[in-house]
Structure 1
Amino acid sequence: MSDDNSHQSNQQTSSIWSKGLKRWLSTAPETRDELVKIIHDSRRLLEPDTVAMLEGVLELPATQVHEIMTPMSQVTGVSIHATPPDIMQAYLETTHSRYPVFEDDSQNNVIGILLAKDLIPFLVEKARGGTAYFDLDSVLRRPIFISETARSDNLLRLFQKNQMHMAIVIDEFGNTAGVVTLEDLLEEIVGDIEDEHDDIAGIDETNHIIPVVGKTDTWIVQSITPIELCNQQLGTTFLHNEVNSMGGLVMHSLGQVNDLLGQKVLIDDCQLTVLSADERFIQEIELVKGYNG
C-alpha cells in the first residue's frame, strides 16, 4: 500500500473515532441526576452491592456531617483528669478504639483523642509488676474539627490529609455537637459495618419500633429511630428537614426542657410521650397514632 493510501486510511479511521466520540459525549450525563439515572439503569449489568456503593459515593456531596455524626449525648469520652482505672472502665463498657478527651466535665472542650492501643504499654508494664505512671496528656492525639454543616466528601479529604479516623463536630455557635468517624463515612457508601463487638441482634431496625400489647395504634419507639423509618413502618408523615431521629423530633418540638421525663407533644395526629430519658437525651418514646385527646 502506498504512503498516500495509508495516510488516507488513517484519516478515515481517525474521523470514525472522532464521530463516535462526539456521539458518546453528546449523550453523556450533564447533571448529577442524569448520572444517578444511568447508575439505576445499570442494575441489569452490575451487582446490586456495586450499584448501591456507587449511589453512596454520589450521595456524599449531598450529605452533611451532622447527618452521620454521633451526638455528644451518646458519646463516651474521658476527662483529662481520669485515672487508668477510669479509662479501663470506659473501655470495658464500650470497647471503642478512640475516645475524645475533655478538659472538664462539661464535654464541650475537647482537647485530644485517646487511642485505646496507647494503653497497651502501660498495661504490659503493670502486668510485669512494674510501677509505670500513666500520663494521659503525653499520649493524646491532636483533635481535628469540622463544621456540622460541612459536606461529607470534605470530611473524607480531612481524614486523608490528617491521617485520622475521628473528627470533632462543631455547631454554628462553636460548641461541640458530636463526633464523626471514618467508619461513619464508609457506612454511607457501603452500608452498615458490624465489627466483632457490635450487638448484631440489637441492630435490627424492627426492634426500634415495638407495638404496645393491649393498646390500639400505640408503639414504643427508640429515640435513635430515623424519622424516615418511622414514617415507613407506621404510615406517619413527620417532616424531618431539621432533625433526623424521633428523639430529635420530640426535642425540637418541646424546645428547651429541663425535665424531659413524661413530657408530651402533639405532632400531626400523634401524641408522643417521653418514657425514659436522662438529663439531656431522650431514650424511649410512646407514640399514639390518631390521638384525639
Structure 2
Amino acid sequence: MSEDAPSPSSWSMRGLKRWLSTAPETRDELIRLVQDSRQFLEPDTVDMLEGVLDLPATQVREIMTPRPQVVGLHESASLAEVMDIILETTHSRYPVFDSQDDDAVIGILLAKDLIPLLVHMVRDQEDKISSKRLRDLVRQPLYISESARSDTLLRSLQRTQVHMAIVVDEFGNFGGVVTMEDLLEEIVGDIVDEHDDFDADSDINNIVADPEKPNTWRVQASTVIEDCNDELGCHFDDTDVDTMGGLVMQTLGHVGDLEGESVVIDDWQITITDVEGRFIQNLELTKIKPGQQILIGSH
C-alpha cells in the first residue's frame, strides 16, 4: 500500500463523519440511522441501541411474566412452606397475596429479608411464621398498567428504587409481574444466571420442533404470537390477544376441561397438551397438509 493511499480506518472515519452530518428528525429516521451504523459499530452495540429505541414502542404486557407463570406466596403461609418454595424456585423476589383475595398483592417479599427471621427461628426454636409477621416483612409494591410503555416502567423502577413491579389489567386485576431484568433483556438479550434452566426458561426455546412428529412443534402457551409467526412462518392474528395460549382460549370461547382440546386456525392444528388449573401451559402445533384429515375436539 502506498503512503498516499488512505487506510481502511480512515475511510471508516470519513464515512462516519458523513453519516453523522445530518441529524435525524424523527424516531424512524433515528432507527434507520442506527441500523445503518453496522458498518461502523460492533453488532452487539447496534443491537443494544435498537433495544433502547424500541422501549417506547414496547408495552409492559409484552415483557412481563404472565399470571399463570408467576410464583407467589400467601401471607398466611408458614415459614416452612415459604422456604420450600424459595428453595424450589430460587427466585430473589416474590409477590405476596392477601390470604382472602388472590388478586390482591400486599407487597413484595425479598428472599434476603428472611435471613434475620431464620436466625431468630434457630435461636428460639420457632417453626412457623404468622401472617402478621410475613405482612411486616414485605416491601411496598409498585403497580404498573399492562398497557404502559416500557420506558415508563424503567423510569418508575428507577424512581422507586425497586426491581419488580406488579402488572394490572384495565380492570385493576393482577395480570403478572415485570422486573428490571425483563427490561434489560429487551436491550441486551437473554440474561442467564447460575440458577436458570436455560432450556426451560429461555424465550429462545419456547418453540421446539417435536423430534418424533413431522411438521409439529411444542410451544409454550406464554409465547408471544408475533414470535411464533416469525419462527414458524405462520400468520396468526394478534390484534386482540398477545400470546398463543390467549389465541387458543379466544378461539375455544370457553373455560372447561381444556387438556387435549384442539382447534384449527388458518392451516395449523393447535392442541392443548398441558394445563395447570384454569391456565394453559403448553401447546402442540401441527402444520396441516392439503387434503389432510383433521380430528377436532378433545382427544
Same fold by TM-score greater than 0.5:
yes
The one-character-per-residue Cα deviations of 1:180-224 (angstroms, maximum 9, x if unpaired) are 1111111111111111100123337356322252x4423332323
Secondary structure in structure 1 of the residue aligned to 2:103: coil
Change (3 A) 1:150 1:207: closer
After TM superposition, list the pairs within 5 Å mapping 1:144-223 onto structure 2. Answer: 144-202=142-200, 203=202, 205-206=204-205, 208-211=207-210, 213=212, 215-223=213-221
Given the alignment, which residue of 263, 266, 284 partners 1:265?
Answer: 263
Stretch deviating more after TM superposition (199-208 or 179-188): 199-208
Partner of 1:50: 45
Cross-structure match for 1:40: 35
Contact kept in structure 2, 1:146 and 1:168, CA below 8 Å: yes
Which of residues 62, 70, 80 in structure 2 aligns to 1:67? Answer: 62
Counterpart secondary structure, 1:161: helix
Deviation per CA, 1:72-130: give whole Å up to 9, x if none.
11111111111100110110111111111111265211111111001111222334455
Secondary structure of residue in 1 paired with 2:95? strand
Q: CA separation in 2, counterparts of 1:49 and 1:187?
A: 13
CA distance in 2, matches of 1:270, 1:103: 41
Q: 1:249 to 1:125 in 2, by over 3 A?
A: same
Give, in whole Å, the separation in 2 of the partners of 1:230 and 1:77.
Answer: 28
Evaluate the alpha carbon distance shift between residue 289 and residue 263 of structure 1 in structure 2; reply closer, same or farther with a 3 A threshold. same
Secondary structure at the aligned position of 2:254 is classed as: coil
Match of 1:29 in 2: 24
Q: Mapping of 1:271-282 within 5 angstroms?
A: 271-282=269-280
Identity %: 58
Residue type of the alignment partner of 2:265: I
Shift of 1:234: 2.8
State the Cα distance separating 1:232 from its structure 2 match: 3.4
Residue aligning to 1:90 = 85
Q: Distance in 1 between matches of 2:52 and 2:109?
A: 30
Q: Which moved more, 1:195-204 or 1:49-58?
A: 195-204
Structure 1: 5+ residue runs without aligned partners? 1-22
Structure 2 Cα separation of the partners of residues 159 and 138 of structure 1? 22
2:297 counterpart residue number: none
| RMSD over equivalenced CA pairs, Å | 2.3
> How many equivalent pairs are there?
270
Cα separation, 2, equivalents of 1:24 and 1:285: 47
The one-letter code sitting in structure 2 at the alignment partner of 1:249 is L
| Counterpart position of 1:122 | 117
Aligned: 1:101 with 2:96? yes
Deviates more, 1:244-253 or 1:140-149: 244-253
The structure-2 alpha-carbon separation of the partners of 1:130 and 1:176, relative to structure 1 and needing over 3 Å to count, comes to same
CA distance in structure 2 between the aligned counterparts of 1:278 and 1:105, rounded to whole angstroms: 21
Inter-CA distance 49–24: structure 2 relative to 1 (3 Å threshold) = closer
Runs of 4 or more off by more than 6 Å in structure 1?
Answer: 23-26
* SS in structure 2 at match of 1:81: coil
Check conservation: 1:258, 1:279, Cα contact below 8 A. Answer: no
Paired with 1:209 and 1:24, the residues of 2 have a C-alpha distance of: 41
TM-score of the superposed pair, with normalisation by structure 1:
0.84
Do residues 81 (structure 1) and 79 (structure 2) align? no
Give, as a single letter, the amino acid of the residue that structure 2 aligns with 1:39: V
- Give the 5 Å matches for 1:6-21: none
Which residue of structure 2 aligns with residue 141 of structure 1? 139
Which segments of 5 or more consecutive residues in structure 2 lack a partner in the other structure?
Answer: 1-17, 295-299
What is the rounded CA distance, in whole Å, between the counterparts of 1:193 and 1:245 in structure 2? 22
Q: TM (normalized to structure 2)?
A: 0.83
Q: Distance in 1 between matches of 2:248 and 2:116?
A: 45
